[in-house]
Structure 1
Amino acid sequence: MVAHVTTVAFLGLEARTVDVQVQIAKGQGKFTIVGLADKAVAESQERVRAALSGIGLALPFQRITVNLSPADLPKEGSHYDLPIALGLLAAMGIVDAEQLSEYLIVGELSLDGRVANVPGVLLAALHASTNDLGLICPAAQGGEAAWAGRIDVLAAPGLLELLNHFKGTQILSPPQPAAAAEMMPAPDLAEVKGQETAKRALEIAAAGGHNLLMSGPPGAGKSLLAATLPGLLPELAPAEALEVSMVASVAGTLEAGRLIRQRPFRAPHHSASMPALVGGGQKARPGEVSLAHLGVLFLDELPEFDRRVLDSLRQPLETGEVSVARAALHVTYPARVQLIAAMNPCRCGHLGDPALACARAPRCAADYQAKLSGPLLDRIDLHVEVEPVSAADLSLPPPAEGSREVAARIAAARERQSHRYARTAARTNAEADGRVLEEAAQLDEAGQALLREAAERLKLTARSYHRMLKVARTIADLAATDGIGRVHIAEALSYRRQPPRA
């Protein structure tokens, strides 16, 4: 007899159905798992054996074969423990195989028979819902699975409780969707003294989802400005929250099954490797650029990152997704992020300050900034100089406007964009493609003339031209005007990248 149990394999944010086939046949006692399983899956036999022993059951001294079909699909992770164990129990006649056929099963087994948490439960629940199946998952992740909608979820604390449920001696109550994660507090923009130009650039970046690079000496407030951004951005829409939570679920970072409503803010250290930033590694996990999907990726000390690592961001910044290709695996993760970067103008950080500048200026600045490739800088819409804050600035009273007032303007601008792009895939001006953008631009004659003149004098690439138009569209949205005028184009031009100062 061959028992069949359903589980899933994860390829990025795609779940593939896996048929767990268990056969107990005559022969010497041997436990074999086949079907292109990695080491974590191969070790499952020891965890399953110990878990069954922990609840008072023993495997028969016969030949046990577990086939994970399709055999050419890579199987990774510990979530195969529970389906393998239940398949064995079905083959032994302890559990009704027909009952199990109504469920998709994921879960790791502890040696004492408890069911431990695994990544990807939300994705597995959505896949089960699509295929008209229920879901058996760890008890602690029942609230996460319940977000998938009207599906039968059995959130089992242990293998014994699950067996009692199927026998009817103990009923596992259906879990309720976990409460949404709390909004984490962010520094208020009112805490930033001075820096009006940088604040304005940050507001524009937040309103249109634009990439921003801040350059200035140490202690000028670049990191503090970036840290205020989560308090300026609107919370995720329900569909966006599901997207972000799916990435976090696959990465195993979805805390207590709570749906994420605040836009992610990721700030990796400049020593981060390429797999850590864009995804990959042995198991092709999502990187920081995917964990920041629909949120902010903050790269402080930008030139200190490895140049190859930074250049690997060029494609995700343009397409909004990252593809990780391996010989036996090809996965795609979403990566629609807003890049906020900060850097010093040179290695010593005091370029242009007569009292502190090093003797190697301006070559020091040229060498330092040359670590950033032109194509990467071309993908950054806003470049702003953050000047040092004087003692007089620090003694000033707090600004009249804080994060709440600025966030209200940003929310209104985003609402205008939401209506404008309702019939397209774009969410913000930064995501609008050339055709959609030109239809939405509504440039007046003066603005069009200035833009044409700037494109010729500055030798703008097609990408730079459209990015400048997107920034101008956002500035007009903040001003609540339908058309783009000369003043909007002029302000957008002021945020173009400038050559290193002498």
Structure 2
Amino acid sequence: MLTKLFGAAVQGINATIVTIEVNSSRGIRFFLVGLPDSAVKESHERIVSALQVNGYKFPSCQIVVNMAPADIRKEGSSYDLPLAIGILASTGTIQTDKLQRYLIIGELSLDGSLQPIKGALPIAIAAREQGFEGFILPHQNAREAAVVNNLNVYGVHNITEVINFFNGTQTLKPTIVNTREEFYRNQTEFPFDFADVKGQENVKRALEVAAAGGHNLLMIGAPGSGKSMMAKRLPSILPPLSLAESLETTKIHSVAGKLNKDSSLIAIRPFRSPHNTVSQVAMVGGGATPQPGEISLAHNGVLFLDELPEYSRSVLEILRQPLEDRCITISRAKYTLEFPASFTLIASMNPCPCGYYNHPTRHCVCSPGQVQKYLNRISGPLLDRIDIQVEIVPVPFEKLAEARPGESSAVIRERVIRARQIQSARFADTPNTHCNAQMTSSQLSRYAQPDAKGLTLLRDAMSRLNLSARAYDRILKVARTVADLEGSEVIQPHHLAEAISYRNLDRENWAG
């Protein structure tokens, strides 16, 4: 007896529907075809045990299973449940009248209970697009998939519930999530606040500009000056995610298996801080089974690289292309996958190996050559892609002892949101540009052209600091953001002066 049902394969951050055909006939062998990997082939033993423990007998006949399309590699253990249901249906144990109306996915334990899977959200989106009535999956992933509307999502605990459902002896209750209510309720929950930061007004201003325009930022300062502390507070002043951004971000984390149990949409912008021992593949994605890397997990959020010179040179250089294109393409012999990677890069570093170069009270023990060698670990092309470079000095005792809290993140965030609203109106007709940091050369000429006084100031800075053409563009972009924070339509000289002041590493007094 031939039976058809449906599963799904995740490729990149999207899912493809897989048709599972099961045919039972006279014989004793078991065949599984359709380009399955080892995890899929091992499903036979898990299915046999799960059925036996729950009082069902694995059919003693020849079973042929085909997973189409056959040219897509089927990977992982999430096909256990549909394979088991298909095998039982092909021998008449399960009624087949409702099978093709549901998408089924799940990993079986030996006792028949279900384990969580990766990629439930993109699979649910594919199920809705293909017109399925419902989606049956492990209960741990039900809330994640239930954010997709117009689709009945059934979270089940074990295979017996699924068998009884198709045989009509048990009903399943769909999981319902009020997506908008949960999304907007969780948008203001942050563990850190800028009100806790004492002093460092110039650095807080630089972070505000970075948040308002989506600019990359590098903080240079001595150990203990507050670089990591302030970087962790940046998500609290970034504009809130839109529902579309949240859905895309959640898809990436779902595919990577990074969502918490019983979670739904990600409501706040991600903050990723990989250790400096991270490999190239872990940073940008890939592997034998391509997975999103740290830059994709930071999509629509912040990628924080602490102690930037300690990262491998190859890892830093591989960031150059994603910083420009805001996506990463993983190419293999038989296929190509593209992961989004539109993130704000926030980095921190010491000014020298000992950490006290240019320190107001501590003596630096490094020679000028050692300082220069340390700074040279960051290449010029990568440094050019960092719009804002700000120096941090330690906070004096008087500031630390102040009982008065600093400006809160909520107040700063309001200014950032107003600046982003100006940019959204400005770039309403250009779908690939959302903030000033993404402006093209033609858009710079249109929206960020300084007046005569500004051009003179910029010409002097270019000559004095020996800046590159890319640095010139970065200064204009930052100046445009400073003007937006003031609500000014025209870039004025003091906007340019502030933007130029953020090119700290271009100054001649660095490293002697």
Farther-moved stretch of structure 1 (471-480 vs 129-138): 129-138
1:93 Cα offset (Å):
1.8
Task: Label 1:459 to 1:25 Cα distance change in 2 as closer, same or farther (>3 A).
Answer: farther
Q: 1:67 aligns to what?
A: 66
What letter corresponds to residue 205 of structure 1 in structure 2?
A
1:248 maps to amino acid? H
Q: Indicate the residue corresponding to 2:486 in structure 1.
A: 479
2:364 pairs with 1:365: no
- Corresponding residue for residue 293 of structure 1: 299
Q: What is the identity, as a one-letter code, of the residue corresponding to 2:227?
A: K
Identify the residue that residue 137 of structure 1 maps to in structure 2: 137
Change (3 A) 1:106 1:433: farther
**Hey, what does 1:491 align to over in structure 2?**
498
Residue correspondence of structure 1 range 83-482 to structure 2 within 5 A: 83-133=82-132, 134-177=134-177, 179-180=182-183, 182=186, 184-255=189-260, 256-353=262-359, 356-398=362-404, 400-424=406-430, 425-441=432-448, 443-455=450-462, 458-482=465-489
User: Are the structure 2 counterparts of residues 437 and 96 from structure 1 closer, same or farther at C-alpha, using a change threshold of 3 Å?
Assistant: farther
Whether the 8 Å contact between 1:218 and 1:344 is mirrored in structure 2 is yes
Q: What amino acid does structure 2 have at the position aligned with 1:242?
A: L
Q: Matched residue of 1:477: which SS?
A: helix
Q: Classify the secondary structure of the residue corresponding to 1:9.
A: strand
- C-alpha distance in 1, partners of 2:425/2:311? 38
Cα deviation, residue 457, structure 1: 5.2
Choose 367-376 or 333-342, whichever is displaced more. 367-376
User: Under a length normalisation based on structure 2, what TM-score does the superposition of the two structures give?
Assistant: 0.93
CA distance in 2, matches of 1:136, 1:395: 58
Residues 465 and 506 in structure 2, CA contact (< 8 A), matched pair in contact too: no
Contact 1:212 1:382 in 2 (8 A): yes
Q: Classify 1:466/1:96 alpha carbon distance in 2 versus 1 (closer, same or farther; 3 Å).
A: farther
Gaps in structure 1 of 5+ consecutive residues? none
* Native 8 Å contact 1:11 1:330 kept in 2: no
1:74 and 1:328 in contact (8 A); partners too: no
Amino acid at match of 1:332: E
Which stretch has the larger CA shift, 89-98 or 77-86? Answer: 89-98
Q: Name the CA shift for 1:400/1:297 in 2 (closer, same or farther; >3 Å).
A: closer
Tell me how far 1:294 sits from its aligned partner.
0.3
Q: TM-score, normalising length from structure 1? A: 0.94
Q: Structure 1, residues 11-50: CA drift from partner, whole Å, max 9, x if none?
A: 111212222122223223x333222222221211111111
Q: 1:491, 1:25 → 2: CA distance? A: 78
* Contact preservation (8 Å) 1:186, 1:230: no
Deviation at 1:308, TM superposition (A): 0.7
Q: Give the CA deviation at 1:446.
A: 2.6
- The alignment status of 1:48 with 2:55, answered yes or no, reads no
Moved more, 261-270 or 250-259: 250-259
Q: Which moved more, 1:224-233 or 1:340-349?
A: 224-233
CA apart distance, 1:501 = 3.0
Aligned residues with identical type, % of pairs: 46
C-alpha deviation, 1:315, in angstroms: 1.3
Bigger CA drift: 231-240 or 448-457?
A: 448-457
CA separation of 1:237 and 1:354: change in aligned 2, threshold 3 A: closer
Supply the distance in 2 between the matched residues of 1:311 and 1:375 (Cα, whole angstroms): 9
Check the 8 A contact 2:290/2:330 in 1, yes or no: yes
CA distance in 2, matches of 1:311, 1:39: 35
Bigger Cα displacement from structure 2, 50-59 vs 185-194 = 185-194
What do you get for the CA RMSD once the two structures are aligned? 2.0
Q: What residue identity is the alignment partner of 1:501? A: A
For residues 282 and 90 of structure 1, what CA distance do their matches in structure 2 show?
34
1:242-272 Cα shifts (integer Å, max 9, x gaps): 1111111111122213211100011111111
Greater displacement, 291-300 / 133-142: 133-142
Structure 1 residue 132 displacement after superposition: 0.8
When residues 128 and 462 of structure 1 are mapped into structure 2, their CA distance, relative to the original with a 3 A threshold, is farther
Check conservation: 1:232, 1:406, Cα contact below 8 A. yes
* Whole-angstrom CA distance in 2 between matches of 1:460 and 1:370: 16
Tell me how many residue pairs correspond in the alignment.
Answer: 501
Shift in Å at residue 321 of structure 1?
0.8
Asked if 1 retains the 8 angstrom alpha-carbon contact of 2:164 and 2:170, the reply is yes
Q: What SS is found at the alignment partner of 2:494?
A: helix
**Match in the other structure for 2:511:** 501
Structure 1 position 120, deviation (Å): 0.7
Letter in 2 for 1:206: A
**Is the deviation greater in 420-429 or in 286-295?**
420-429
Q: Which moved further from structure 2: 123-132 or 268-277? A: 268-277
Give the CA deviation at 1:404. Answer: 2.1
Q: Deviations over 1:404-441 (max 9, x none)?
A: 22111111111111222222222211122222343333
Specify the code of the residue in structure 2 equivalent to 1:316.
P
AA aligned opposite 1:426: T
Q: 1:175 to 1:481 in 2, by over 3 A?
A: same
Q: 1:63 to 1:456 in 2, by over 3 A?
A: farther
- Structure 2 unaligned runs (5+)? none
Question: Which sits farther off after the overlay, 376-385 or 325-334?
Answer: 325-334
**In 2, Cα distance between equivalents of 1:464 and 1:399:** 36
Q: Structure 2 CA distance, aligned partners of 1:436 and 1:75?
A: 45
The residue type equivalent to 1:170 in the other structure is Q
Structure-2 change in CA distance of 1:328 and 1:41 (3 Å): farther
Q: CA deviation at 1:389?
A: 2.1
Distance 1:332 1:11 in 2: 10
Q: Distance in 2 between matches of 1:268 and 1:232?
A: 21
Between the aligned partners of 1:48 and 1:330, the Cα distance in structure 2 is 33
